[in-house]
Structure 1
Amino acid sequence: MSIPQSGGGPIESYDDLAAYLESGCKPKDDWRIGTEHEKFGYCRDTQRPLPYAGERSIEAVLTALKDSYGWNPISEGNHLIGLEKNGANISLEPGGQLELSGAPLETIHQTCDEVNAHLAEVKAVADRIGVGFIGLGAAPIWWHEDMPLMPKGRYKLMDGYMRQVGTLGTAMMRRTCTVQVNLDFASEADMVQKFRVALALQPVATALFANSPFWEGEPNGHKSWRARIWRDLDAARTGMLPFVFEDGMGFERYVDWVLDVPMYFVYRDGTYINALGQSFRDFLKGELPALPGEKPTLSDWADHLTTVFPEARIKKFMEMRGADGGPWRRLCALPAFWVGLLYDQTALDAAWDLVKDLSAETRDELRVAASVRGLQGKAGGVSLRVLAEEAVTIAEMGLKRRARVGAGGLIPDETHFLAALKESVETGKAPADELLERYEGEWAGDLSRIYGEFSY
């Protein structure tokens, strides 16, 4: 979840909203890669989730990272809720999931080094206090009541509202984890092409990274239960955005959709003011019930943009949001997949050719199929495994053409980060399939073994 935005001046006209998004356009030489990943923390002896405070807690982990590795604290009221250093942030998801929002970096080699350094720091402080961290798309055993809500005003407001607009919103907040990558665009036309490819291929990412086959202690009948949760969360702010594929798509069309998404809050002087269900359009007119007579700033608009949750999202950059949290190799594989597809024009054109004839109905059906059956899913005559194989091949070609060297020039490009995905398309198995095989085989139904064998 995002931290409050700052630094935005007054909104003078409706045009400022699209201009804010368009200001993110960058020449290709300035494109960067920002990788985010979440993980569950737990007490090693009890395998119970971490509370916010105490000797073994989220607060203790954050404090140790701050004191041992020079991270700068981010607080809300009297609570330590995050850390910042060198353009990267460590933050808390609603149920205490620990998230690294990486700095904008030039290559996947760099972002993978960043992941390695972060996980090494987290493991070092976690080992000292008897804590572990595990990368999964959904908490496999814990129940809602087991997961404490973190002390952030945004989460308190969201928690109540989620109960009114869908059946699984609070489950998303407390018991799911994801890995995502944030990428740049050069122009409005470039944004539109990338956005269409990103949305159409999110089911492929869901299938390749499916890693949440357990829920409340047993198999749940899905390969990605996290993706299932997102399909029944809040229809007003989630989904595959069919309008993106229509004529006339651009920054203004996206603005119109976001303006119709009900608000959560307005952030003022360190406090989240309840604006649940209210309209940003009314805010623009100075008629927001939460702040009568006051008009929004660009910071308010930036905050509102963080409260929409489609499968891919636009801010001043583009977020790919369809993948489950997972093991180390796939934390680096996700940016490799999307960078290979979107940062090389030949690959981007090939990826668009791959999906341009899919109907809105088929795209939605593939989203469901990826959640339920992973790479074995099919819809509209389309096999997710075949589509994934073609997409990974295009991504590999894109990374070869990028030719970004690593290890002091010893590694010629970034293609080796796709190894886990190539293995998946060859075998037809995502991480969820391996977990289910272990559960039904050597674990003999003892799901507690997942912590010892799959933690970082």
Structure 2
Amino acid sequence: MPTSSASSVVATKPLTKEDLISYFASGCKPKEMWRIGTEHEKFGFEVKTLRPIKYEQITALLNGIADRFGWDKVMEKERIIGLKQGMQSISLEPGGQLELSGAPLETLHQTCDEIRSHLHEVKTVAEELEIGFLGIGYEPKSSLEDVTIVPKRRFDFITDHLARASTTGPDVFFRTCTVQVNLDYSSETDMIRKFRASLALQPIATAIFANSPFSNGKPNGFLSVRSHIYIDSDKKRTGMLPFVFDDSFGFERYVVYALDLPMLFLIRNESYLDCKGMTFRDFMSGKISHLSNEQPTINDWEIHIGTLYPEVRLKRYLEMRGADGGPLGMLCALPAFWVGLLYDEDSLQTVLDMIDDWTPEEREMLRTQVNFEGRINTLF
């Protein structure tokens, strides 16, 4: 379920908190319109050397997929940075990871067919370039210094922020791969129920799909080191969001959470503007002096909430973000796992009943434990 982001939008009236709440409310859909979106990332490597592929090789790969299979090229200045075909897109992560953002589809079979078709196209072109791809949650062999840095302007702001936020910050973007499942909600109440169920069970998904036990060419002591490094990458933008389980939680409470987090950048006329760590609330109130002439827009809000990385993220749908990258079978299994739990009313209620007495400390303990053990045995 890819989102759009405009590079330059002229606001006709001041943006209000109610507009931000309405943005999330506009995602409500009747059950017959619920869809399944899957996004997954993978590492490319040179077959002969096993080293990460260089940006020039990534460029050749993207051009080859576009020419062979009819994808439209996405450009930044003169550089190719992605592909688009209908509601699907192929993009690059900061360390050169290749990501498919799938279309919103009706069935799990369609989702798996989409993934299978994508992997076939990538493999067809990659083999001719002597490139291989690995489905795993963390770069298993190369050091951070060996990773290819994708020359994409927005990444400069994100990686600079993460480097200042913690010592593990850059690793989160340069050396990790995830699988993400995006699901719909019918109402604010439905969103709350699904958010709570999916957030509490996110460690379960981390445990089941744990797939990052190696780094720098040797075992690292974790079953999901990817999940572990997220814990310290930026505590304000990541994690288990305890407020989701408060009685006051809803669209407005998530807006308050996002309003008070620092912005990373603005986009105007295809240029990126530094927000110098000011919050979106500051931006709306005109407190960012060097941006005082810029009127906040809903597109700015959409970009801002896309730079938050909790275990479950709210957009105009819910994003489940706790699983390591993996091979085809795991890529097809994760959406089946979440659809079975969240789109079936009996299953959803069973989950909510099960987690009803879990404390914030217990949820956080699960989140931490599974990175080492890949299993959960404390609450069951």
TM-score range, shorter chain: over 0.9
Tell me the equivalent position of 2:27: 24
Match of 1:49 in 2: 52
- C-alpha distance in 1 between matches for 2:85 and 2:290: 34
Matched, 1:165 2:168: no
CA-CA distance at 1:8 after TM superposition: 6.7
TM-score normalised to structure 1 length: 0.81
Query: Residue in 2 aligned with 1:13?
Result: 16
Once the two structures are superposed, what CA deviation does each residue of 1:341-369 show, in whole Å capped at 9, x if it has no partner?
Answer: 11111111011112121110000000011
In the alignment, the residues of structure 2 paired with residue 84 and residue 305 of structure 1 have an alpha-carbon distance, to the nearest angstrom, of: 22
Letter aligned with residue 46 of structure 1: T
8 Å contact from structure 2 (residues 313, 321) kept in 1: yes
Residues 410-447 of structure 1: CA deviation (Å, up to 9, x unaligned): xxxxxxxxxxxxxxxxxxxxxxxxxxxxxxxxxxxxxx
Note if contact 1:288-1:294 (Cα within 8 Å) is conserved in structure 2.
Answer: no
For residue 382 of structure 1, give the secondary structure of its aligned residue in structure 2: coil
Instruction: Report if aligned partners of 2:39, 2:99 keep a CA contact under 8 Å in 1.
Output: yes
Superposition map of 1:26-425 within 5 A: 26-53=29-56, 57-375=57-375, 377-378=376-377, 381-383=378-380
Distance 2:342 2:3 in 1: 27
Query: What TM-score do you get using the length of structure 2 for normalisation?
Result: 0.96
Q: What is the letter of the counterpart of residue 232 of structure 1?
A: D
State which structure, 1 or 2, has the greater radius of gyration over its C-alpha atoms: 1
> How far apart in 2 are the matches of 1:9 and 1:114?
36
**Equivalenced residues, count:** 376
Long gaps (5+) in structure 1? 384-456
- AA aligned to 1:12 is L
Q: Secondary structure at the match of 1:319?
A: strand
Cα deviation, residue 9, structure 1: 6.5
Whole-Å Cα distance in 1 between the matches of residues 108 and 3 of structure 2? 25
Displacement after TM superposition at 1:3 (Å) = 7.5
> How far 1:295 moved relative to its partner?
2.1
For the 8 Å contact 2:199–2:240, the answer to whether it is kept is yes
Residues 129-167 of structure 1 show CA distances to partners (whole Å, capped at 9, x for unaligned) of 100001000000110111121111110111122111111
State the 1:28 CA deviation: 0.4
Q: AA paired with 1:287?
A: K
Deviation at 1:4, TM superposition (A): 6.2
In the alignment, is the contact (CA less than 8 A) between 1:4 and 1:267 conserved in 2? no
Q: Distance in 2 between matches of 1:362 and 1:13?
A: 37
Query: Which residue number corresponds to residue 424 of structure 1?
Result: none
**Unaligned stretches of 5+ in structure 2?**
none
Deviations 1:261-300 (A, max 9, x none): 1110001111221114111111112222341232200000
CA distance 1:9–1:182, change in 2 (3 Å): farther
CA RMSD of aligned residues (A): 1.3
SS, match of residue 163 in structure 2: helix
Question: Are the aligned partners of 2:15 and 2:284 in contact in 1 as well (CA < 8 Å)?
Answer: no
Distance in 2, Cα, partners of 1:75 & 1:293: 28
What is the DSSP-based 3-state SS (H/G/I as helix, E as strand, rest coil) of the residue aligned with 2:84? strand
SS of equivalent residue, structure 1 residue 257: helix
Deviations 1:1-44 (A, max 9, x none): x8761297735321000100110100000000000000000000
The 1-side partners of 2:344 and 2:4 are apart by 33
Give, as a single letter, the amino acid of the residue that structure 1 aligns with 2:219.
P
**C-alpha separation in 2, matches of 1:276 and 1:235:** 19
Gap change, CA 1:253 and 1:333, over 3 Å in 2: same
Instruction: Determine which structure has greater relative contact order: mean sequence separation of CA pairs < 8 Å that are 6+ residues apart, divided by chain length.
Output: 2
Is the contact made by 2:139 and 2:175 (CA closer than 8 Å) also made in structure 1?
yes
- What is the CA–CA distance in structure 1 between the aligned matches of 2:329 and 2:66, rounded to whole Å? 26
Q: What is the letter of the counterpart of residue 20 of structure 1?
A: Y
CA contact (8 A) 1:43 1:131 kept: yes
Q: Deviations over 1:195-215 (max 9, x none)?
A: 000100000000000000011
SS in 1 for 2:303: helix
Q: Report the secondary structure of 2:267's partner residue.
A: strand
Q: Which amino acid aligns with 1:22?
A: A
Q: State the AA in 2 paired with 1:195.
A: F
CA gap 1:237/1:290 in 2 versus in 1, 3 angstroms: farther
Amino acid in the other structure paired with 2:49: T
Out of 279-288 and 28-37, give the one that drifted further. 279-288
CA deviation vs aligned residue, 1:74-104 (integer Å, no higher than 9, x gap): 1111110011112000000000000000000
Question: In structure 2, what is the Cα distance between the partners aligned to 1:136 and 1:120?
Answer: 18
Name the counterpart of 1:436. none
Contact in 2 for aligned 1:8/1:298 (Cα 8 Å): no
The whole-number CA distance in structure 2 between the counterparts of 1:28 and 1:9 is 34
